[in-house]
Amino acid sequence: MPSKGQVGVEVLGLEARATEEDHKSIRLWLRLLSATNLVKNEVQSRLRRTFGTTLARFDLLAQLERHPDGLAMGPLSKRMMVTAGNVTRLVDQLEAEGLVTRVPDPRDRRTVRVRLTPEGRRRFAAMAAVHEGWIVELFRGLSREEREQLYALLAALKQSVARALTREGGRAG
């Protein structure tokens, strides 16, 4: 096991080997994370103030709105990128409020699908319209061309990361 002094030397060696491009990648990652968090935190705050709901609940309703036949809990959890336990808790809350319902899957009676109720569909539509306005407002400082360029660059980044994960045996989503 290396001593404290040796660990420090090893870290300095790694830093010395880092190129300017490596540093730019780290700075880019931090800037991307910072911008994402700014938008996410503002949307979370507005959802709480305006609708008394959370971003996770909004996201669950959005996933179900895109799938009128409903989604099983596993795929819903995967799409939301949260644990099955978190999805179950959210579904329990939204079901108690009459916004979602659980129904047996006609193809597999062991599977339960979660669907929006008519009230859930109505409430989500109202929230989604306001949410869209917030996003437009937050991105208004970018020109149309800048938004299109950023969209294309983020698509390229997503493909690059997916390729790297495939090469490394990781998973791409």
Q: How far apart are CA 151 and CA 153, in angstroms?
A: 6
Q: What is the pLDDT of residue 173?
A: 52
Q: What is the pLDDT of residue 114?
A: 96
Q: Which residues pair with 115 in a beta bridge?
A: 101
CATH 1.10.10.10 fits 40-140, yes or no: yes
Q: How far apart are CA 38 and CA 90, in angstroms?
A: 24
Q: How far apart are CA 28 and CA 157, in angstroms?
A: 11
Q: Where are the domains of the chain?
A: 40-140, 142-173
Q: What is the pLDDT of residue 7?
A: 47
Question: Are 43 and 81 spatial neighbours (Cβ–Cβ below 8 Å)?
Answer: no
What's the pTM value of the predicted model, to 2 decimals? 0.79
Q: What is the pLDDT of residue 9?
A: 47
Q: What is the pLDDT of residue 22?
A: 73
What's the average pLDDT block by block, 10 residues per block, for the chain (173 residues)?
A: 49 57 86 94 98 96 95 93 93 97 88 95 97 97 97 96 86 54
